[in-house]
Structure 1
Amino acid sequence: MDESTAAAARRRAHQRGLSVNRYIEELVKQDAGEAGRAFVEAAADFMKQYESVFAEEFGAAAPVPVTAMSPSGGGDAGPGGDATGAARRSRRSKSGAQGER
């Protein structure tokens, strides 16, 4: 990195009361969050554009809400949609298996 960029990073980190490393870490996280949102928006747009093709090929099923695909929800949504629903299904299947003994 050139000296003027490094000096600007040091100045901005100091203004925020952060170390340069912490400042850069926050910039990277912000950038990754923006990239993740852009990906989800693009995927939702793609699904909307080709919704009829998917319905014809795979049958009409209830659409998965776009918010269920959001990376900010935490956890792996898995093939069933949202992470919370996946966790509920997992608990249900475990409790059902215990009752079958």
Structure 2
Amino acid sequence: MPRTQLNSRVDQAVADEAARRRRATMTRTVAERPEPGAEDAGHAFVEAAADFMQRYESVFAEEFGTERVAR
């Protein structure tokens, strides 16, 4: 498996504790952490999707009906 070098600044104690809680190595814990700003992008996406659904609710209802199916 190819190796990737990660250049990341972390608080050693915080990283050790996070790795211990996850029962994973510190390298894996740091590698799997979210990218900076990823949470903001996720929130923006969900808000945009909700806005889209509200704007086009009548179009969807006309096309597919108003009966909702629980999944």
Report which structure shows greater RCO (CA 8 Å, sep ≥6): 2
- TM-score bin (small chain): 0.3 to 0.5
User: Greater helix share, 1 or 2?
Assistant: 1
- Normalised to the residue count of structure 2, the TM-score between the two structures is 0.48
TM-score normalized with structure 1 length: 0.35
